[in-house]
Amino acid sequence: MDATKDRLGRIHHARVHACWQFQGRNSVSMDETNNVARASGAIDAWIGNDGSGLFPYDAVIRAYHEMGKHFVPDTLLERLDDARSLITKQAQTEQALKVFLDVALDKYDSRYEYVTYLAISVLSIDAGGARGDTRWNSLEKRDRLFLHLICDMLRFELLMIDGADKALQQLPPDPKVSQRRCASALRALKPVIERIGLDFSQADDDPIGMARNLCRIVANRTERHEQELLARSILPVYVVHDEYMFIRVLQSFELTFCWIAGRLMKALECFDDSPKDAGILIKQADGVLAETTMLFSLLSTMQRESFQTFRAFTEGASAIQSRNYKLVESLCRVPEESRLHSIAYSSVPEVQQKVIAGVSTLDDAYKTLDKRIGNAQRTELTQAMADFAKSIKQWRSTHYGIAIKMLGENTGTGYTEGTPYLDAVRTIPVFPSIDGVAHTKEIEEVS
390-402 pLDDT per residue, tens: 999 999 998 888 9
8 A C-beta contact, residue 139 and residue 272: no
For range 326-333, the mean pLDDT: 95
For range 189-199, the mean pLDDT: 94
Domain ranges of the chain: 26-111, 139-434
| CA-CA-CA-CA dihedral for 141, 146, 151, 153, to nearest 10 | 140
Residue 327 and residue 391: Cα distance in Å, rounded?
16
pTM over 0.85: yes
Residue 28 has pLDDT above 90, yes or no: no
Residue 21 and residue 33: Cα distance in Å, rounded?
13
Q: What is the DSSP letter of 445?
A: P
pLDDT digits (tens, 9 = 90+) for 52-96: 889 999 999 999 999 999 999 999 999 999 999 999 877 556 889
Residue among 187, 131, 48 at smallest CA distance from 355: 131
Among 26-30, 36-40, 113-117, 298-302, the range scoring the smallest mean pLDDT is 26-30
Residue 438 and residue 232: Cα distance in Å, rounded?
45
- Report the Cα–Cα distance between both ends of the chain, in Å, rounded: 25
For range 375-393, the mean pLDDT: 93
Residue 414 has pLDDT above 80, yes or no: no
For range 240-251, the mean pLDDT: 97
Q: Which residue has the higher pLDDT, 182 or 201?
A: 182
Three-state secondary-structure class, residue 27: helix
Percent with pLDDT over 70 in the chain = 84
Q: What is the CATH number of domain 139-434?
A: 1.20.58.480
Residue 3 has pLDDT above 70, yes or no: no
Residue 207 and residue 178: Cα distance in Å, rounded?
9
Residue 316 and residue 112: Cα distance in Å, rounded?
6
Mean pLDDT of the chain: 85
List helix spans (H) across 221-274: 224-232, 242-269
Residue 255 and residue 253: Cα distance in Å, rounded?
5
Residue among 230, 229, 293, 231 at smallest CA distance from 257: 293
Residue 410 has pLDDT above 70, yes or no: no
- Side-chain-side CA neighbours of residue 387 (13 Å): 22
Residue 24 and residue 281: Cα distance in Å, rounded?
54
* pLDDT reported for residue 319: 86
